[in-house]
Structures are given as structure tokens and as C-alpha cells.
Amino acid sequence: MQCLDDYFALWSTGIEKLEDFLKSTNQIDEKIKFTMEVDEGERLPFLDVEMIFPKGAIKMRLTESP
């Protein structure tokens, strides 16, 4: 059985600590595994929302699904 859920998180303590966190999280239960996508740009599409990060702020813009 496969279930998929989407989660969004902001992480500010560096990629190494994020990778350690993911590794630790994936060791909790062998049936539950998390993956991640890392983007360091100013825009990140997530579900029907475009996350925009201008000058340290966070803005969201709704997008339409085809």
C-alpha cells in the first residue's frame, strides 16, 4: 500500500542538518519514508500555490490547475 502526502517546510539551519533530520526521520518506521526537494531560488511551486521569497519575506500566490 502506498500513501502520499505533501508537506512544506522552511529550514534555516543548513542542508547538512536537514539531511541528518531526514535520515533520522526515515529510521523511525521502516514502512514510512520521507523524501525531499530542496530549492534555494526565489520561487517554489507547491500544490496549487506558488511560494515567493522576496528579500527574506514569504508571499503566496494561488495558481490554477489545468
User: Residue 24: its pLDDT value, please?
Assistant: 97
Within a domain: 49 = yes
For the chain, the domain total comes to 1
State yes or no: pLDDT of 46 exceeds 90.
Answer: no
Task: Print the domain residue range for 56.
Answer: 15-62
* Residue 39 Cα distances to 3, 7, 28, 53, angstroms: 24, 14, 26, 11
Average pLDDT value for residue range 48-56: 87
The answer to whether residue 4 sits within a structural domain is no
Residues 14-32 have pLDDT tens digits of: 999 999 999 999 999 999 9
Residue 6 has pLDDT above 70, yes or no: yes
Question: Within a domain: residue 7?
Answer: no
Please indicate, yes or no, if residue 27 is contained in any of the structural domains.
yes
Which pLDDT band holds residue 1 (cuts at 50, 70, 90)?
low
57 falls within a domain: yes
Of 12 and 21, the one with more pLDDT: 21
Asked whether residue 1 is assigned to any structural domain, the reply reads no
